[in-house]
Every structure is written in C-alpha cells, then in structure tokens.
C-alpha cells in the first residue's frame, strides 16, 4: 500500500564539517537552566577578586574557575555520580556545554586535571562565598525576611564500609564520652576515611560510616541560609546549629547593624538545656519541639516561649527543611558522598545547598 502526499526521505549519514548554528539557539528559551545560568553568572562576578587571589600570575593556564564551578553545579543538578561521568556528558551533551561555557569544538578536560583544580577551590572557601552571593540575589528579590528560621541535620553516608574500621593502635588512654567514657569513635578508625564515624540517627537504624549535614532555612521561602557538614556525633547537630547562627549573625551585622531577635524551629533532638540557654543568649527565641511529660527527658522552654504565637507556625514549617534533604538524597550524589575527609564533605555540602537554592529561586522569581 502506498501513501500519497509525501516522499520518502533519504537516510544519508554524511557528517557535516561545519555547523553555523549557535549553541545559544539550540537551548529553549524557557529551559530552567537558562534562569539558573543567569543567577550563577551574576554570583560568579561577585567572586572575581577571590578567584584572582587563588591563582598565580604566571604559569600554565588552568581550568577557568567559573567553568569549573558551573560543571560542578551540573553534576549536582543532574545527579552525575562521578567526575568521569561528568566529563563524558560534557563531551557530547550540547546543553551541558552551553551551561558550562564550552564551545562545541572545545576539548573536554582530563578527569585528573579537573579534580586537582577543584581542590584549589576548596582551599579558598569558594562554596561558602558562592552560597552567600546567591543569597544576596534572593535578598534583592525580597525572598529573605531574616526573622524566622528552622534548623535540622541529615546523615550523609561516607565513602567507606563498616569493614574498614579497625582498632586504633595504640589504643586511647581517655575517651570523649561522658566522664571520660571510651566511645567507638575513640577506639576504632576507618582505614578508608579516618574522619568518618559509625553513627545512626534512629534507634532502629543501622550504624553506618557517616558525616552529618546541617542546614538552617528561612521559614517563608524554604531557602537555605546556612549549611555545613561535620563528623557524626550525638551533639554535632546542636553544636553546628550554634556555629551557623554565629555565621548568620556576622553576615546580618554587615547588612543590618541592628538585627532584631529571631526565632528558630527545631525537633526534639535540640530540646537540651545548654542549647536552649545558648539560643537565649544570642537573642534567638527557641521554637523547639517538646517531649511528652517524662522525668527522663525534661523540657527546657519557659511558658512564654511555649505559648509564643509563632511556635505552632514554626513547627509546621519544619517540613520545608525535609524537602532540601529529600532533593539532595533522592537519586542524587548526597546519598553517599564520594569525597573523603570532613573538610571536603563540608565544602561539597555547602555547594549542594547553593544548588538547592538555585532550583528553588527559579520557581520563586517569575523572570530572572
């Protein structure tokens, strides 16, 4: 049976030597990466002086830090498990090349060279500076109120196995537990990642070699305003929360000299006397979930704090922080981080928080 109205096309496959189509024309105007690329470029301009300080004035040209950071963002945004896979995608994916800033005929970097250049950016605290630059854009669009926040932590599985833990030699004479008690982290160490610790967040879970990622979000928009990662411990989440509040306080003093008191929502893990006292000292109103009446687990809020009008709202807003963790872990590279060492994991986690903010801001800002 023949169909009238069209002629069969020719399946000739002769490669073209030249292409006169600009890669810019190939990317749809409404593609989400366009808005993200615009925000990233504005943030990178703010970091120009920091890049200059990290590189020597003479020598062989390295990978431009702007291109390297855009490539790392792609790795997070598209859940590419390794730098090798990232380089493979950059070799033939025109969308990725456009986002990073590579021309269609530019050679892709060697994986080893790429990772070595990334190490230099880790030394310059570029992940934290990039997070702050993106937050300034959110602030310019009136997306940050600087008044109501929520804190929480999540377990990050380390790139090590339980079988890599061996007894320390020589064994420690003192422990880091209560009254000098020796804990597992005192007596055993991983031969794969010495800074990773066996830890579990729930009593029903299995102890895994891990770190803890910590985040503070703004309650109205769910944007991450502070992030860090630390070795796992039962006190790490409270200690990290106070550290992040200190960083936020220093930034707020630069933006607004007279910072009003703020509220901080949290779950029952933060219901601890020393932590609550430290919040009050910092003029932070604790909106921390309370235990059921139990002499073994006392609550430390005052009646005024307990009946604060915003307390119930803060507890409802706690789910926004789980969206950040869910986005980072669901089929993503945060499920088990491939970097070893607390400093590298911390750098990566701050970078992932920046990527989460960019994805969120695309939805909050109509036209970037």
Question: Which region among 15-24, 90-99, 160-169, 193-202 has the lowest average model confidence (pLDDT)?
Answer: 15-24
- The pLDDT tens digits of the residues spanning 37-52 come to 999 999 999 988 888 8
Residue 296 predicted with pLDDT over 60: yes
The rounded percent of the chain whose pLDDT value lies above 90 is 43
Residue 368: how many CA atoms within 13 Å on its side-chain side? 27
Q: Return d(Cα 245, Cα 5) in angstroms, integer.
A: 70
Residue in 244, 212, 239, 211 with CA at minimum distance from that of residue 227: 244
Two tokens at 209?
């070699």
What is the model's pTM? 0.87
Residue 162: how many CA atoms within 13 Å on its side-chain side? 7
Give the pLDDT confidence score for residue 253 in this predicted structure: 59
Positive/negative CA dihedral, 40, 46, 50, 56: positive
Give the pLDDT confidence score for residue 17 in this predicted structure: 57
Two tokens at 174?
């003192």
Beta bridge partners of 99: none
Q: Return d(Cα 28, Cα 32) in angstroms, integer.
A: 9
More confident residue, 221 or 8: 221
Question: Which region among 17-26, 207-216, 344-353 has the lowest average model confidence (pLDDT)?
Answer: 17-26
Two tokens at 104?
């269609």
Q: Return d(Cα 104, Cα 292) in angstroms, integer.
A: 62
At what angle are helices 126-140 and 342-364 packed, to 10 degrees? 20
Residue 368 predicted with pLDDT over 50: no
> Which CB contacts under 8 angstroms, 24+ apart, belong to 272-279?
272/238, 272/300, 273/298, 273/300, 274/238, 275/238, 275/241, 275/242, 276/300, 276/301, 278/242, 279/245
> CA torsion 74→80→82→86, rounded to 10°?
-50
Question: Which region among 169-183, 240-254, 331-345 has the lowest average model confidence (pLDDT)?
Answer: 169-183
Q: Where are the alpha helices (DSSP H) in 229-341?
A: 236-255, 273-281, 303-306, 311-317, 319-329
Q: Return d(Cα 318, Cα 245) in angstroms, integer.
A: 17
CA-only gyration radius of the chain, Å: 24
Could you tell me how far CA 253 lies from the centroid of its own chain?
24
Residue in 255, 237, 227 with CA at minimum distance from that of residue 334: 227
Give the pLDDT confidence score for residue 35 in this predicted structure: 92
Average pLDDT, the chain: 85
Beta bridge partners of 151: 216
Give the pLDDT confidence score for residue 252 in this predicted structure: 64
- The pLDDT tens digits of the residues spanning 143-165 come to 988 889 999 999 999 988 888 88
Residue 284 predicted with pLDDT over 60: yes
Question: Which region among 136-145, 206-215, 261-270, 334-343 has the lowest average model confidence (pLDDT)?
Answer: 334-343
- The pLDDT tens digits of the residues spanning 234-263 come to 899 999 999 999 988 877 655 555 556 899
Q: How far apart are the first and last CA of the chain?
A: 53
Where are the strands (E) in the chain, listed by range? Answer: 148-157, 165-167, 188-190, 197-199, 208-218, 224-231, 262-266, 284-288
Q: What would the mean pLDDT of 203-213 be, rounded to a whole number?
A: 85
Give the pLDDT confidence score for residue 187 in this predicted structure: 79
Give the pLDDT confidence score for residue 13 in this predicted structure: 56
User: 148-157 and 262-266 as β-strands: parallel, antiparallel, unpaired?
Assistant: parallel
Judge if the upstream peptide bond of residue 285 is cis by omega within 30 degrees of 0.
no
More confident residue, 367 or 39: 39
> CA torsion 310→244→213→320, rounded to 10°?
20
Residue 99 predicted with pLDDT over 90: yes
């Amino acid at each position: 049976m023949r169909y009238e109205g069209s002629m069969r096309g020719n399946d000739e496959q002769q490669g073209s030597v030249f292409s006169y189509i600009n890669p810019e024309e190939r990317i749809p105007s409404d593609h989400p990466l366009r808005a993200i690329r615009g925000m990233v470029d504005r943030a990178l301009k703010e970091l120009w002086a920091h890049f200059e300080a990290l590189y020597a004035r003479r020598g062989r040209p390295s990978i431009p830090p702007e291109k390297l950071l855009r490539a790392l963002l792609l790795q997070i945004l598209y859940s590419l498990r390794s730098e090798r896979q990232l380089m493979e995608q950059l070799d033939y994916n025109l969308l990725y090349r456009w986002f990073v800033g590579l021309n269609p005929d530019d050679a892709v970097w060697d994986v080893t060279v790429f990772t070595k250049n990334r190490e230099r950016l880790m030394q310059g605290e570029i992940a934290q500076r990039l997070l702050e630059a993106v937050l300034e854009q959110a602030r310019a669009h009136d997306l940050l109120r600087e008044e109501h926040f929520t804190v929480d932590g999540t377990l990050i599985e380390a790139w090590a196995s339980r079988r890599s833990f061996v007894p320390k030699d020589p064994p420690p004479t003192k422990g880091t537990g209560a009254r000098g008690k020796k804990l597992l982290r005192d007596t055993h160490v991983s031969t794969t990642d010495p800074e990773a610790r066996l830890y579990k967040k729930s009593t029903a879970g299995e102890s895994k070699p891990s770190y803890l990622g910590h985040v503070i979000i703004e309650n109205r928009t769910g944007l991450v305003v502070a992030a860090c990662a630390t070795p796992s411990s039962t006190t790490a989440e409270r200690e990290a929360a106070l550290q992040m509040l200190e960083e936020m306080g220093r930034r707020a003093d630069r933006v607004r000299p007279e910072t009003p008191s703020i509220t901080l929502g949290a779950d029952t893990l933060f219901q601890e006397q020393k932590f609550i006292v430290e919040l009050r000292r910092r003029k932070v109103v604790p909106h921390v979930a309370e235990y059921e009446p139990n002499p073994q687990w006392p609550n430390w809020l005052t009646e005024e704090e307990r009946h604060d009008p915003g307390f119930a709202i803060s507890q409802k807003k706690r789910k926004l922080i789980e969206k950040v963790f869910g986005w980072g872990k669901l089929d993503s590279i945060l499920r088990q981080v491939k970097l070893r060492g607390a400093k590298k994991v911390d750098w990566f986690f701050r970078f992932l928080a920046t990527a989460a903010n960019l994805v969120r801001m695309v939805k909050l800002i109509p036209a970037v």
